[in-house]
Amino acid sequence: AQSVTQPDIHITVSEGASLELRCNYSYGATPYLFWYVQSPGQGLQLLLKYFSGDTLVQGIKGFEAEFKRSQSSFNLRKPSVHWSDAAEYFCAVGSDAGNMLTFGGGTRLMVKP
Amino acid sequence: GAVVSQHPSRVICKSGTSVKIECRSLDFQATTMFWYRQFPKKSLMLMATSNEGSKATYEQGVEKDKFLINHASLTLSTLTVTSAHPEDSSFYICSALAGGQGDEQFFGPGTRLTVL
């Protein structure tokens, strides 16, 4: 069975600092990997996804993620965090062409001024 | 991007009553919609997959008689929580699969259900 682990429940960074959110997955085949952001009152928004090809994926809002098969990881990064990035971030792995999603527990990002 | 709406955004009901939550794809047709449940400070758990015109497929441990799902059209799926109890209080989120857009799921804003 597939599973996703986000080791960090909470992360606090200063505005302008770099960010890395960790995600480890367990999946038998080539995974379809996603990062979503959830803000209060809004639906989950897709930041980026990896299906195949280049292991460094660029997303929206300046985010990127790197797929590392040897480490079963898909960490999300941003070089300079903005206050508006404060939200809950979810990593997910998908089966069946990415349709059936299993989510990690989420990481709540707080941004200090 | 494609927009998915949910109605209501919040609902409070008495124990034993039924509550219907609507999920609509506003600007695209969705042959498949998903229903998730999110507990406080927890992840999203897939409850069921809803395909237009057919019976929903429920995940293990989800009571299909308690959580009735109807996907009557390509833009509307409903989740009815029957005979609700306080333990059903949760945040329910739907998503819709937009075929032809890289199979991306678009998520609704969620519905907060509180059962007294």
Q: What is the pLDDT of residues B63-106, one digit of tens each?
A: 999 999 998 899 999 999 999 999 999 999 999 987 754 567 89
pLDDT at A41 over 80: no
Percentage of residues in chain A having pLDDT higher than 70: 97
Percentage of residues in chain B having pLDDT higher than 90: 71
**Residue A111: both structure tokens together:** 């941004």
- CB of B107 within 8 Å of a chain A CB? The answer is yes
Strands A107-112 and A10-14: parallel
Mean pLDDT, chain A, whole residue set: 92
Please report the pLDDT score of residue A97 as a whole number: 60
> Which of B89, B73, B78 is closest to B22 using CA atoms?
B78
pLDDT at A96 over 70: no
Give the full edge-to-edge strand order of the sheet including B67-73: B4-7, B19-25, B76-81, B67-73
**Residue B50: both structure tokens together:** 């809803």
pLDDT at B110 over 90: yes
Mutate to test the interface with A, among B23, B33, B44 (most CBs of A within 10 A): B44
Please report the pLDDT score of residue A46 as a whole number: 92
Mean pLDDT, chain B, whole residue set: 91
For residue A44, which residues of chain B lie inside 8 Å, CB to CB?
Answer: 44, 93, 95, 107
Query: Rounded to whole angstroms, how far apart are CA atoms B72 and B93?
Result: 18
CB contact under 8 A, B105 and A43: no
Please report the pLDDT score of residue B100 as a whole number: 55
Please report the pLDDT score of residue B5 as a whole number: 94
pLDDT at B27 over 80: yes
- A18-21: long-range contacts, CB 8 A cutoff, minimum separation 24: A18/A77, A18/A78, A18/A79, A18/A80, A18/A81, A19/A76, A19/A77, A19/A78, A19/A81, A19/A85, A19/A109, A20/A75, A20/A76, A20/A77, A21/A75, A21/A76, A21/A77, A21/A89, A21/A91, A21/A107, A21/A109
Sequence-ordered strand ranges (E) for B1-116: 4-7, 10-13, 19-25, 32-38, 44-51, 57-58, 67-73, 76-81, 90-97, 105-107, 111-115
- CB of B96 within 8 Å of a chain A CB? The answer is no
Q: pLDDT tens digit string along A42-94?
A: 789 999 999 888 899 999 999 999 999 999 999 999 999 999 999 999 999 98
Residues 6+ apart with CB under 8 A from A56: A64, A65, A66, A67
Give A52 or B56, the one with higher predicted confidence: B56
* Nearest CB neighbour to B109, from listed A42, A46, A90: A42
For residue B59, which residues of chain A lie inside 8 Å, CB to CB?
Answer: none
Is the separation of the CB atoms in A35 and A59 below 8 Å?
yes
Query: Rounded to whole angstroms, how far apart are CA atoms A69 and B4?
Result: 33
